[in-house]
Amino acid sequence: MKKLRLHQCGNFNERYEQELSVFETDFGRLWTCIGVCVLFGIVPFISSLYTLYIFNVIAITAIAAIGLNILIGFTGQISLGHGAFFGVGAYAAAILATRAHFPFLAALPAAGLITAIVGMVFGIPSGRLKGLYLTIATLAGQFIIEYVLVHWESLTHGTMGMILPPAEIFGIQIMGERKFFFLSFILLIIMTTAAVNLMRTRYGRAFVSIRDNDRAAEGMGIPIFRYKILSFGISSFYAGFAGALWAYYMTSITTEPFSLALSVEYIAMVIIGGMGSITGSIFGAIFITGLNELLRWITSILMNIHIGGAVSLTIAPLRELVFGLAIVLFIIFEPRGLAEVWRIIKSSFKLWPFSY
Partner 1 sequence: MVFFFQLLVNGISIGFLYGLAAMGFVMIFKSSSVLNFAHGELLAFGAFIFLTLVTWAHLPIIAAFVVALAGSFVFGFVIERLFLRPLIGEPLIYVIMLTVGIAAIFKGAMLLLWGGNLYIYPDFLPLAIGIKWGVVNIAPVYVVSTTVGLVFLVLFGLFFKFSSQGIYMRSVADNQQAALSLGVHVRRVFALSWAIAAMVAAMSGIVLGIINGINVHDLSSIGLKVFPVVILGGLDSIGGAIIGGLIIGLLETFTGGYISPSLRDVVPYMVLVGILLVRPYGLFGLVEIERV
Measured in residues, the chain has a length of 356
Binders in 162-221 for partner 1, by CB under 8 A: 214-215, 217-218
Phi, psi of 318 (to 5 degrees): -65, -40
SS3 state at 306: coil
Q: Which is nearer to partner 1, 106 or 316 (CB)?
A: 316
Query: Exactly one of 6, 20, 172, 321 binds partner 1 (CB under 8 A); which one?
Result: 321
Phi, psi of 114 (to 5 degrees): -60, -45
Query: Exactly one of 133, 152, 182, 297 binds partner 1 (CB under 8 A); which one?
Result: 133
- Binding to partner 1 by residue 303, rule CB under 8 A? no
Query: Exactly one of 84, 271, 282, 286 binds partner 1 (CB under 8 A); which one?
Result: 271
- Binding to partner 1 by residue 223, rule CB under 8 A? no
Q: What angle do CA 149, 152, 153 make, to 5 degrees?
A: 105
Distance of CA 147 to CAs 99, 140, 159, 213, 232, Å?
21, 11, 11, 36, 21
Query: Exactly one of 320, 344, 345, 349 binds partner 1 (CB under 8 A); which one?
Result: 320
Query: Exactly one of 131, 182, 226, 294 binds partner 1 (CB under 8 A); which one?
Result: 131
Query: Exactly one of 239, 323, 337, 339 binds partner 1 (CB under 8 A); which one?
Result: 323
- Binding to partner 1 by residue 125, rule CB under 8 A? yes
Closest CA to 285 of 191, 180, 166, 179: 191
- Exposed, middle or buried by CB within 10 Å (0-12, 13-18, 19+), for 117? middle
Closest distance to partner 1 from the beta carbon of 135 (Å): 6
Are residues 124 and 229 in contact, defined by beta-carbon separation less than 8 angstroms?
A: yes
What is the distance between the alpha carbons of residues 243 and 245, in angstroms, rounded to a whole number?
5
- Binding to partner 1 by residue 224, rule CB under 8 A? yes
Q: Which is nearer to partner 1, 29 or 336 (CB)?
A: 336
Q: Which is nearer to partner 1, 35 or 335 (CB)?
A: 335
Closest distance to partner 1 from the beta carbon of 196 (Å): 22
Scanning the chain, the segments in alpha helix (DSSP H) are 16-20, 26-41, 43-46, 49-69, 82-98, 104-123, 131-151, 153-156, 176-198, 202-212, 214-219, 224-250, 260-273, 278-305, 315-333, 337-351
Q: Which is nearer to partner 1, 121 or 250 (CB)?
A: 121
Q: Which is nearer to partner 1, 187 or 315 (CB)?
A: 315
Q: Which is nearer to partner 1, 239 or 268 (CB)?
A: 268
Are residues 255 and 243 in contact, defined by beta-carbon separation less than 8 angstroms?
A: no
Q: For strands 167-169 and 252-253, give the pairing.
A: unpaired
Q: How many residues bind partner 1 (CB under 8 A)?
A: 51
Query: Exactly one of 163, 198, 318, 351 binds partner 1 (CB under 8 A); which one?
Result: 318
Q: Given the rule CB under 8 A, which residues bind partner 1?
A: 72, 76, 78, 80, 122, 124-125, 128-133, 135-137, 139-141, 143-144, 147, 151, 214-215, 217-218, 224, 260, 264, 267-268, 271, 275, 313, 316-328, 331-332, 335
